[in-house]
Amino acid sequence: MSGHSKWNNIKNRKGAQDTQRASQFNQISKQIRIAVKLGKSGDPKFNPSLRLAMDKARLANMPNEKVQRAVDSGLGKGKNGAIQESIYECFGPGGVAILVIAHTDNPHRTSAEIKFILSRNGGAMAGPGSAAYLFKRQNDEYVPTMPLEVGDAELEALANLQSELEANEDVEDVYLNLAFLTDDEASETS
């Protein structure tokens, strides 16, 4: 009799559901933090985008403790101290430069988490200034100054890496110095 262990089936199903819920909670937490920062208020009565994000949290059955922690984080309060912005410079598969913008109350923990994600996906943390010069800041975003073209295999690995980095609770933005061909350019090279 193969596959007869009811306990094992329940364990696997619950593990998959917990992973999915954790990912959903991280996304909602980010939305709450962003709404608080943009609205400059932690009160949903005066911040409609926060009210919408809190409604999403309520529909997802997100615990009130997590919602309050996200609101405090957006206001710059944290249990370990003030929230600070950290910029991590990295290199991914194919030598692509990556800037990871994180808002955290514990930069050492966040750094370790980012290093772990990078090591699992063929990337590496870089020293200060080694990747930042490949970007310029425009309107609160980083735009690549020297875009790099990569193959399909590296592009898929970079997409996986970017999605894992963005799933981290403290990471706000991830920027890559990739060159994207327009439809006209792609047809000319074919």
Provide the residue range defining the domain that includes 170. Answer: 84-176
Say what the pLDDT of residue 180 is: 62
Domain count, the chain: 2
Q: Is residue 186 part of a domain?
A: no
Residue 182 falls within a domain, yes or no? Answer: no
Does the residue 90 lie in any domain? yes
Are residue 60 and residue 90 in the same domain, yes or no?
Answer: no
Tell me what pLDDT residue 99 has.
94
89 and 68 share a domain?
no
SS (H, E, C) the chain: CCCCCHHHHHHHHHHHHHHHHHHHHHHHHHHHHHHHHHHCCCCCCCCHHHHHHHHHHHHCCCCHHHHHHHHHHHHCCCCCCCCEEEEEEEECHHHCEEEEEEEECCHHHHHHHHHHHHHHCCCEECCCCCCHHHEEEECCEEEECCCECCCHHHHHHHHHHHHHHHHCCCEEEEEECECCCCHHHHHHHC
Domain CATH number, residue 116: 3.30.70.980
| Per-residue model confidence (pLDDT) at position 56 | 92
**Does 76 have pLDDT greater than 90?**
no
Average pLDDT over residues 110-139: 91
**pLDDT score of 163 more than 60:** yes
pLDDT value at 53 more than 50 = yes
